[in-house]
A and B are shown apart, each in its own frame.
Chain A
Amino acid sequence: MSVSADILEALRLELRRGTLILAVLGTLRSEKYGYTLKAELGGLGIEIEEGALYPMLRRLETQGLLTSEWREDAKRQKRFYRLSDDGAAALTQLAGEWRAMNASLSSILKGVGS
């Protein structure tokens, strides 16, 4: 019996949710505004809807992990985001967690789907 598309999609979304924050924090080590951030993530194979990206950026800023400022770029007002000091510390810790988890999962999933 095959897993229904809905269940698979829900599992995929759940798997991606945590990693998206890590990807956003990692990308914002250099300053970017929403549009270029989405484009860069997309170029690296990580798609995220704008409707989800902007609220996430705002939440991360409220948590003190990002800082932002409005600035003019190409004659337009844009909000630029970058990692704060707290964000950099959190990123270091999360990256360590990710590598450890990745190593464990690689070992668990050895031979799956290959």
Chain B
Amino acid sequence: MNPIWDYVKKVERHLPAARRTEVAGALYATLKARKETIEKAKGAKATDAEIADMLAAEGDPLRVAERIAGPSGEHDLVSRYLASVERHLPREGVLDVMAELREALRAKTEEAEERLGRAASADEIAAVLKAFGAPPVVAARYEGRMQLIGPVLYPWFWPTQRTALGLVAAVFLVLTALRALGTDRPIQAVLARIDNLLGLGLMAFAAVTLVFIAVERWGDPVKLLENRWDPTSLPRDNIRKPRSLFESGVSVFFDVLFILVWLKFVPFPNELPLRDGASVSIVLSPAWSVVYWPILALALLSAAGHLHDMVRPAWNRLRSGISIVSYVGGLAVLGVLFQGRPFVDVQPRPGTSPEELTRAVGLVDGLLLVSLGITAAIWAIALGVEVWRQVRASRLSGGAALMAA
């Protein structure tokens, strides 16, 4: 029996479902680290009584859950602020720090309300948060160490390095591959130049680092951020989890690939083999020409949305609006295509019979019918979810107005 695990399970029961796994994991890690500190201090394993004392000091599981998850009526701006600070904090002891910051903000808000003689408005709560400090700066104070690249720029440092290295590698590999294609032994030609990639990668890393250090040294980003940051524009992680850079990068890659295929810059294999020596070419039916430009516009919009995710990964109204327009547009395009079936035509190659042509059209058209049908269903659900997120964001923002009324 593990008393720490039993305790965590008791706390978990009182947590909101959305945060249960994440918080329980962090709490278990915190308590385990605390037990290890006790054991390190005494140089022996902690006794059951010592662990029981440690858990008793932590407090009643219900109260622990309350201070970690926050009260149910917490203002949207406060939740978003705390989530932003949390993202920049080291994982160790994060629950404790967050609980204490939550309590401090609550006390500050109540102090402001006492002074005003009424509930604080969203603007007044934003002023409390602004005075508390920008999230990366507040979080950095918990680290308590001098940094070459400070708290404001640091969150951008590794994503920029990864993007720069990825770009250098992609450009290098494409150029090397193109050059190698003109040689007799293309694979050997690529391998012979591959060691240059290491040098280029190191140069890119050094260049990005120098730019960051220069901005840190002469740009005074902490002062700039403290003056300019706006609590009302904090990301809404409570609406949707932020997208990872990898996820957005992969999406942009496929968007660009689709656009290149659609513009016929990259050929798409369209020959369908039927049997030995016989095949047909599948081409899109005239129905697609009606929606050629709308599809291109939607693909560009999708790429713009995914590029936006790389810069601002958290949910916001603009990105959500782009998604809604994309889903509505996509469903409209699918509607036109469904009405103009079949989706494809075939161009016979020598040696194919009329029956084989009909069967080929039926097969490809059926496959497209199923896959586009599934796509339509997914987009319809995603559209509903996105509209709901907009409504939820309005309700959360509206809470402040209700409180102030």
User: Which A residues fall within an 8 A CB radius of B?
Assistant: 33-35, 49-52, 54-56, 58-59, 69-72, 76-79
Are the CB atoms of B104 and A34 closer together than 8 Å?
yes
Residue count of chain B within 8 Å CB distance of chain A = 26
Excluding A54-B100, A54-B101, A55-B144, 14 further A-B contacts by CB distance (< 8 Å) are: A34-B103, A35-B103, A35-B107, A50-B104, A51-B141, A55-B138, A70-B64, A71-B59, A77-B59, A77-B99, A77-B103, A78-B103, A79-B96, A79-B100
Are the CB atoms of A79 and B99 closer together than 8 Å?
yes
| A77 surroundings in chain B (CB, below 8 A) | 59, 63, 66-67, 99, 103
Are the CB atoms of A72 and B63 closer together than 8 Å?
yes
Are the CB atoms of A51 and B100 closer together than 8 Å?
no
| B144 surroundings in chain A (CB, below 8 A) | 55, 59
| Contact of B137 with A by CB under 8 A | yes
| B224 surroundings in chain A (CB, below 8 A) | none
Cβ-closest chain B residue relative to A50 = B104
Cβ-closest chain A residue relative to B100 = A79
Task: Work out how many contacts link A and B, with CB atoms closer than 8 A.
Answer: 56
28 A-B pairs within 8 Å (CB atoms) are namely A33-B103, A34-B100, A34-B103, A34-B107, A35-B103, A35-B108, A49-B132, A49-B133, A50-B104, A50-B132, A51-B132, A51-B133, A51-B138, A52-B141, A55-B144, A58-B93, A58-B97, A58-B142, A70-B58, A70-B63, A70-B67, A72-B63, A77-B67, A77-B99, A77-B103, A79-B96, A79-B99, A79-B103
Interface of B is mostly: helix
The CA of A56 and the CA of B57, in the complex, are separated in Å by 22
Interface residues of B in 148-201 (CB under 8 A from A): none
Cβ-closest chain A residue relative to B101 = A54
Partner of B137, one of A51, A54, A70: A51
Cβ-closest chain B residue relative to A72 = B63
The CA of A69 and the CA of B144, in the complex, are separated in Å by 22
Interface residues of B in 115-133 (CB under 8 A from A): 131-133
Cβ-closest chain B residue relative to A78 = B103
Cβ-closest chain B residue relative to A38 = B104
Are the CB atoms of B104 and A54 closer together than 8 Å?
yes
| B141 surroundings in chain A (CB, below 8 A) | 51-52, 55-56
| A56 surroundings in chain B (CB, below 8 A) | 141
Cβ-closest chain A residue relative to B71 = A76
| A49 surroundings in chain B (CB, below 8 A) | 131-133
Task: Identify the interface centre among A34, A69, A71, A76: most chain B CB within 10 Å of its CB.
Answer: A76
B96 to chain A, nearest CB (A): 8
Interface residues of B in 216-265 (CB under 8 A from A): none
A41 to chain B, nearest CB (A): 14
The CA of A93 and the CA of B154, in the complex, are separated in Å by 38
| A76 surroundings in chain B (CB, below 8 A) | 103, 106
A62 to chain B, nearest CB (A): 9
Task: Identify the interface centre among B58, B137, B138: most chain A CB within 10 Å of its CB.
Answer: B138
| B96 surroundings in chain A (CB, below 8 A) | 79
The CA of A27 and the CA of B295, in the complex, are separated in Å by 68
The CA of A76 and the CA of B133, in the complex, are separated in Å by 24
| B106 surroundings in chain A (CB, below 8 A) | 76
A7 to chain B, nearest CB (A): 14
Interface residues of B in 70-110 (CB under 8 A from A): 93, 96-97, 99-101, 103-104, 106-108
| A59 surroundings in chain B (CB, below 8 A) | 144
Are the CB atoms of A50 and B108 closer together than 8 Å?
yes
| B97 surroundings in chain A (CB, below 8 A) | 54, 58
| B138 surroundings in chain A (CB, below 8 A) | 51, 55
| A70 surroundings in chain B (CB, below 8 A) | 58-59, 63-64, 67, 99
The CA of A51 and the CA of B136, in the complex, are separated in Å by 11
